[in-house]
Chains A and B, each alone.
Chain A
Amino acid sequence: SQKIEQNSEALNIQEGKTATLTCNYTNYSPAYLQWYRQDPGRGPVFLLLIRENEKEKRKERLKVTFDTTLKQSLFHITASQPADSATYLCALDQSGGGATNKLIFGTGTLLAVQP
C-alpha cells in the first residue's frame, strides 16, 4: 500500500534562508500531490497542489517540485520568516488517479525559523 515519508526531525533554519522539506512516497505515482500547513492546535490548511506532469509550481515565496522518477516532492520556502514556523504535511489521493479525495498524509515536518 502507498506510504508517505517525511522527515520527522524538526528543521531549524535562520530567518531569511530557504527552507527545503522533503516528501517521499513508496508506491504508485499519484496524479497530484498536495501540501498543507498546520499550526499548533489548529487543523491543516491547504497551500499548494502539483500535478504529476508539472515539474515545479510556485506561489509567492513557496515552490514545490515533483519528481516521479525519484518518487519525491520538495517544498521550498524562500526568504523564510518566523511566521513560517509550523508543521508542513504532504498528502496524496489513495486512489492514485485522484478521484476520491481520500487522502493519505505524511506525519509532517516541523519547521522552526529562528529570528
Chain B
Amino acid sequence: DVKVTQSSRYLVKRTGEKVFLECVQDMDHENMFWYRQDPGLGLRLIYFSYDVKMKEKGDIPEGYSVSREKKERFSLILESASTNQTSMYLCASSPGTGENSPLHFGNGTRLTVT
C-alpha cells in the first residue's frame, strides 16, 4: 500500500512565524499535491508538483511556497503564518495523471496559528 506520511498531526504556531509542513511518500510517485481543507469550503489545491524541482501554483497559492528537492518529499512553506492559514493541510501523491492515478492522501496536519 502507498504510504503518504505527514510529519506532524498537530501544529501550533504564532503569527509571523515561518512554518514548514513536510510530506513523504514511499511509492516513487511522480506527482505530489498540497491541499487545505476548511469546513464549508472543502479541499482546495494550494500547490502541486509533477517532478523533482518542479512546482506549479494551484488555486490558492498566496502566502505559501513549496519545495521538492527529492522525488519522495514535498514541503509546504508558510513564509509568515497568519491566522487565516489555520486549517487542515493534506498532502497527496499519484503515480501519474489520468484515470489510473487516483490520489493517495496523508492523514493531514492540523495547523493552528495564534
Contact = CB atoms under 8 A, between A and B. Distances in A.
Interface residues of B, number: 26
A97 to B, nearest CB: 9
A107 B41 contact: yes
Contacts of B90: 43-44
B62 to A, nearest CB: 17
B103 A103 contact: yes
Contacts of A102: 33, 45, 48, 58
Interface stretch (B11-19, B70-78, B79-87, B91-99): B91-99
Interface residues of A, number: 25
A108 B42 contact: yes
29 contacts: A8-B40, A31-B99, A32-B99, A36-B103, A41-B107, A41-B108, A42-B108, A43-B90, A43-B92, A44-B103, A45-B105, A46-B102, A46-B103, A49-B99, A51-B99, A89-B43, A99-B97, A100-B97, A101-B48, A101-B94, A101-B97, A101-B101, A101-B103, A102-B33, A102-B58, A103-B43, A107-B40, A107-B41, A107-B42
Contacts of B98: 98-99, 101
Interface in B49-81: 58
A98 B94 CA distance: 13
B102 A42 contact: no
A114 to B, nearest CB: 23
